[in-house]
Amino acid sequence: MSVLTLLVIEDEPQVRRFLRNSLPPSEYEMLEAESGERGLSTAAARHPDVILLDLGLPDIDGVEVTRRLREWTTIPIIVLSARGQDQDKVAALDAGADDYLTKPFSLPELLARIRVAARHAEQRSDRKEPAFEAGDLRIDLANRIVTLGGNEVRLTPIEYKLLATLARKAGRVLTYQQLLKDVWGPRYLTHKQYLHVYMGHLRNKLERHPAKPRFLVTEPGVGYRLKIG
């Protein structure tokens, strides 16, 4: 069974410690963030499989964190909160949370909710997408596999998301702003350096001559294009 990556956005150290000590490391990798801003940046950088989110964070309310996550990602969000009022649950679910568990909760119930959320996300991603091919480069969007000359290329989650975004609109120029919004989220529209860095990583892995790319073409002053022919 593959390891699920969980991002726990929670300011209470004892809750994070309980989860850290209780989650089987053979099944779960746990990322931790003690604030909403840290949680948002970690989600953008690491793309976890499931997010466990507290509502009562010290900087941003968890409902607002949910809204901001939903601007760019469909990662399942399970709210863990001491707020048990119906209006709190409704607010979180309306903002885009997938599930809500009131503290204190039992570990077996939490694990069951995580499995359900991960299964639903996997079913959404199982919807078949075409494979992109150009020369000896093949991007299997359905199975998230990239091969070059028949050999699988290992990409980080961000590298793959950037490449897949270009592949879904192969042949078309995508602006810097489009790519930043689709890959990192709308709050990163001015972080053009992210694109330059990760495009460099992709070219080093996929291009025979990274300085003269065959596939990942720059449109000066505009953006990037995944070249078809």
Whether 48 and 7 have beta carbons less than 8 Å apart is answered as yes
pLDDT for res 135:
87
Task: Tell me how far apart the alpha carbons of residues 132 and 138 are, in angstroms, rounded to a whole number.
Answer: 6
Q: What per-residue confidence (pLDDT) applies to 162?
A: 94
pLDDT of residue 124: 66
Q: Measured between alpha carbons, how far apart are the two ends of the chain, in Å?
A: 39
Helix (H, G, I), strand (E, B) or coil at 224: strand
Look at residue 212 in the predicted model and tell me its pLDDT: 93
CB of 163 closer than 8 Å to CB of 155: yes
* The pLDDT value given to residue 128: 59
Give the DSSP H or E segment for 202.
helix 192-206
Beta bridge partners of 105: none
Asked if residue 169 has pLDDT above 80, the reply is: yes
pLDDT one-digit tens code per residue, 109-146? 999 999 988 888 876 655 556 788 888 999 988 778 89
Q: pLDDT, tens digit, for every residue of 205-220?
A: 999 999 999 999 998 8
Q: Are 27 and 53 in contact (CB under 8 A)?
A: no
Cis preceding linkage at 104, omega within 30: yes
In 47-191, which ranges are continuous DSSP H helix?
62-70, 86-95, 107-125, 157-168, 176-183
Query: Mean of the pLDDT values across residues 166-178?
Result: 88
Cα separation, 194 vs 131, whole angstroms: 26
pLDDT score at 143: 77
pLDDT of residue 126: 52
pTM to 2 decimal places: 0.62
Say how many CA atoms lie within 13 Å of 147 toward its Cβ. Answer: 12
**Per-residue model confidence as pLDDT tens digits over 42-100:** 998 888 999 999 999 999 999 999 999 988 888 999 999 887 677 888 888 888 898 98
Q: What is the pLDDT of residues 7-54, one digit of tens each?
A: 999 999 999 999 999 999 889 999 999 999 999 999 988 889 999 999
pLDDT of residue 84: 64
Average predicted confidence (pLDDT) for the chain:
89
Interatomic CA distance for residues 182 and 73, integer angstroms? 9
Rounded Cα distance between 205 and 213, Å, is 11
Angle value at C-alpha 33, between 115 and 74, nearest 5 degrees: 45
Going from the N-terminus, what domains does the chain have, and what CATH number goes with each?
Answer: 4-125 (3.40.50.2300), 131-226 (1.10.10.10)
Location of structure tokens 């077996």: 108
For every residue of 11-42, DSSP letters joined together read S-HHHHHHHHHHS-TTTEEEEEESSHHHHHHH
